[in-house]
Amino acid sequence: MDTLIFIITAAIALIGAVAMVVARNAIHSALFLLLNFGAVAVLFLLLYSPFLFAIQLTVYAGAIMVLFLFVVMLLGAERIEDAPDQIAWQRPLGIGLGVVLMLVAMATALRASAFAPPPGGEALATFGDPAALAALLFTHYLLPFQITGIILLVAVIGVVVLNQRGRHRSEEAGREDARTRRREDARR
């Protein structure tokens, strides 16, 4: 029974990922990514980690994807890929490399991990619950916990500062940048 669920969700996840990459429209790819995150959340459940299932759905799917959609809408950047690709050899080489990476990654995965079904037993019952996770988090991993806190703080300040400078830039700076861009094009 579990394997069946696993196969379905895995398929959904893969489809979501591929669709995200292939989609022309940025919004469609964002939504497909949302689908992928949902599938992965379910997989977390299968792996007995309900806390992460919740976190995945709320933080990833909820916060980050919403932010993405918001920014896509703000910039109106759905349709910017129609111009011909500047670097001709970029696309084929990219695809080729991606495929090679996939094969190598899979080969490593096959060799590294065990095929036998994971051990069960009574320890499994208390395994995934948030209490055990929290206990470990606030004792053994206290320092990293604080550091991530600081990272988040820095991120917030960063965002504020970036946007501030953005607002002061006058129209003239915009035009000047355009000119440099034209000169670069001429030179290339």
Partner 1 sequence: MVPTAYYILLSAALFAIGVLGVLVRRNALVVFMSVELMLNAANLAFVAFARERLSVDGQVLVFFVITVAAAEVAVGLALLVAIFRSKRTADVDEVSVLKG
Partner 2 sequence: MLTWLIWFIPLLPFVGFLLNLFVIRQERQAGMLASATVVASFVLALVATVLLAGLPEAERRVQSMAWEWIATGSLSVPFAIMFDPLTAVMVLLVTGVGALIHIYSIGYMHGDPRVVRYFAYLNLFVTMMLFLVMANNLLLLFLGWEGVGLCSFLLIGFWFERKEAAAAAVKAFVVNRIGDAAFILAMLAVFSNFGTLNFYGMEINGRWVPGFLERMPEIFGLRFGPDWQPIAIATGISFLLLIGATGKSAQLPLFVWLPDAMAGPTPVSALIHAATMVTAGVYMMARTEQLFAASPATQSWVVWIGTFTAFIAATAAIAQWDIKRVLAYSTVSQLGFMVAACGMGAYAAAIFHLLTHGIFKALLFLGSGSVIHGTHETQDMRKMGGLRTAMPTTFWTYMVGAAALAGVVPLAGFWSKDEILAHAAAYGYWPQLAILFLTSLLTAFYMGRQVALIFYGEQRDNHYHPHESGQTMRVPLIILAIGAIVAGFMNIPTLFSGMPAAHLLTDWLQPVLHEEAGKFNLVVAILATAGAVGMGYLGWWAYTSNAAKVKVGGLDPAYRYTGDIWDGMQEAWYVDLAYNRMVVAPFRSFSATLANVFDKQGIDGMVNGVGRVFTWAATEVRMLQNGYVRTYALVFTMGAVLVLSFMLFVTR
Q: Which alpha helices (DSSP H) does 23-129 contain, by range?
A: 26-46, 50-55, 65-75, 90-112
Tell whether residue 21 is a contact of partner 2 (CB under 8 A): no
Tell whether residue 13 is a contact of partner 1 (CB under 8 A): yes
| Interface size with partner 1, residues (CB under 8 A) | 101
Helix axes 26-46, 2-22, angle to 10 degrees: 160
The amino acid at 161: V
4 alpha-carbon distance from chain centroid: 26
Q: 111: how many CB neighbours lie within 10 A of its CB? A: 7
Which residues contact residue 60 at a Cβ distance below 8 angstroms, ignoring those fewer than 6 apart? Answer: 37, 41
Cα separation values, 82 from 30, 54, 78, 85, Å? 19, 39, 10, 9
Tell whether residue 77 is a contact of partner 2 (CB under 8 A): no
d(CA 48, CA 174): 52
Closer CB to partner 1, 184 or 186, in the complex: 184
Residue 66's binding partner out of partner 2, partner 1, none, with CB under 5 to 8 Å set by partner kind: none
Residue 8's binding partner out of partner 2, partner 1, none, with CB under 5 to 8 Å set by partner kind: none
Site string for partner 1, 58-87 (x = CB under 8 A): -xx--xx--xx--xx-xx-x--xx-x-xxx
Site for partner 2 in 87-126 (CB under 8 A): 87, 90, 93-94, 97-98, 100-101, 104-105, 107-108, 111
Residue 119's binding partner out of partner 2, partner 1, none, with CB under 5 to 8 Å set by partner kind: partner 1
Smallest separation, CB 162 to partner 2 (Å): 18
Burial class (CB in 10 A: 0-12, 13-18, 19+), 30: buried
Residue 83's binding partner out of partner 2, partner 1, none, with CB under 5 to 8 Å set by partner kind: partner 1
Burial class (CB in 10 A: 0-12, 13-18, 19+), 90: exposed
Site for partner 1 in 103-132 (CB under 8 A): 105-106, 108-110, 112-120, 123-124, 127-128, 132
Which residues contribute to the site for partner 2 (CB under 8 A)?
A: 86-87, 90, 93-94, 97-98, 100-101, 104-105, 107-108, 111
